[in-house]
Amino acid sequence: MSIKSFLPGRLGFGTAPLGNMFRAIPDEEASATVEAAWDSGIRYFDTAPFYGAGLSEMRLGDVLADRPRDEFVLSTKVGRVILDEIEDPSGRDLGEKGGLFEHGRPNKMVNDYSADATSRSIEDSLKRLKTDRLDIVWVHDVAQDFYGDEWLAAYETARTGAFRVLQRLRDEGVIKAWGLGVNRVEPLELTLDLEEPKPDAFLLAGRYTLLDHERALQRLLPAAETQNVDIVVGGPYSSGVLAGGQHFEYQKAPAPVITKVERIKALAGQHDVGIKAAALQFSLAHPAVAAAIPGASRPSRIAEDLAALGERGPAAFWTALREEGLIVPDAPVPTA
């Protein structure tokens, strides 16, 4: 089913930061951030067991438990099972994402894309989220950034395990939609080429942003559009640097990235548009994109996101970005 048929608007809230992604967030601040999103009318929330080894799901569930379940859309992910056993979070091997969620729960996480692990993961997520159903389930991070050269082996386990379980749950009406949630384009291209199973949507993080969009535009987004597989853009601020933060790709932003952001910011300033708006609007402008889900760990960010949603920027700004080579020539831009 097209997720556009049930997504409540084009702006959702990504709760990775609430798993203590970069810092130990007090519980009150985390719940105030979710409440700010709710009070602002946001009704699509994305989370995952990985985000703080269950912490993001628990925090989100605590706030949403009091809200009418029919009034919001919820997505979480499978691919990592959270155990009761404790480990040292700083000792986890997260490849190029090393150091993420060090302040999360210290529970051991096991990567597992098999059918059994998928069913167990969903059961565990329902408990942590204090709900009886999920709307969308994403197969999480089955890609090069977490598995290096072994990613195709992990993908194969997911194809014959998680994908089939989720397709069955979707066909039975237990969930409304399923897909992959990844930071790389290749697993999604591969999935679009499969005869079966067929996903409804993809959560593509960091690969359709002002700073990085060329590869996704070449093949993935046109093919997704043709096949009616909707895209949810995760990480529209490239994990922070496009919103005034310090992070790019979940690490400290390197100098060339900061230089590029400064060039975009200078043009945005000349055309009286905020960089956060430019980033969000760019991600949403492609017709394959159903929604964007910026993350935040502070309540004040939500009003900024909503303001950004209403600020398209003048045509001259988008033309200037093109002329300066800051976006590729065929990237769709917002129209007034």
Ligand X SMILES: NC(=O)c1ccc[n+]([C@@H]2O[C@H](COP(=O)([O-])OP(=O)(O)OC[C@H]3O[C@@H](n4cnc5c(N)ncnc54)[C@H](OP(=O)(O)O)[C@@H]3O)[C@@H](O)[C@H]2O)c1
> CB of 157: closest distance to ligand X in angstroms?
17
Q: Choose the catalytic residue: 44, 77, 155, 305.
A: 77
Binding pattern for the stretch 117-156 against ligand X, x by CB under 6 A and - elsewhere: ---------------------x-xx---------------
> CB of 49: closest distance to ligand X in angstroms?
12
- CB nearer ligand X, residue 263 or residue 298: 298
- CB nearer ligand X, residue 217 or residue 275: 275
| 304 touches ligand X (CB under 6 A) | yes
H or E element, residue 290: strand 289-293
| 235 touches ligand X (CB under 6 A) | yes
| 244 touches ligand X (CB under 6 A) | yes
Q: Which of 301, 318, 331, 333 binds ligand X (CB under 6 A)?
A: 301
- HSE value, Cβ hemisphere, 13 Å, CA-based, for 249: 15
Q: Choose the catalytic residue: 4, 27, 39, 46.
A: 46
Angle between helices 55-64 and 115-129 (to 10 degrees): 50
Q: Which of 49, 54, 197, 236 binds ligand X (CB under 6 A)?
A: 236
Stretch that binds ligand X, among 82-90, 191-199, 222-230, 291-299 (CB under 6 A): 291-299
Integer Cα distance of 179 and 197 in angstroms: 10
| 238 touches ligand X (CB under 6 A) | yes
Burial 7-22 (b: 16+ CB within 10 A, else e): beebbbbbbbbbbbbb
> How far, rounded to the nearest angstrom, does the alpha carbon of residue 278 sit from its chain's CA centroid?
18
| 61 touches ligand X (CB under 6 A) | no
3-state SS class at 289: strand
Residues 251, 240, 206, 26, CA torsion sign: positive
Q: Which of 17, 197, 199, 313 binds ligand X (CB under 6 A)?
A: 17
Kindly state the tokens that stand for 197.
Answer: 């199973």
| 306 touches ligand X (CB under 6 A) | no
Q: Which of 239, 264, 288, 334 binds ligand X (CB under 6 A)?
A: 239
* Nearest to 44, CA basis, from 171, 134, 142, 165: 134
Q: Which of 36, 55, 74, 205 binds ligand X (CB under 6 A)?
A: 205
**Strand pairing report for 73-78 and 136-140:** parallel
- HSE value, Cβ hemisphere, 13 Å, CA-based, for 3: 32
| 161 touches ligand X (CB under 6 A) | no
Active site residues: 46, 51, 77
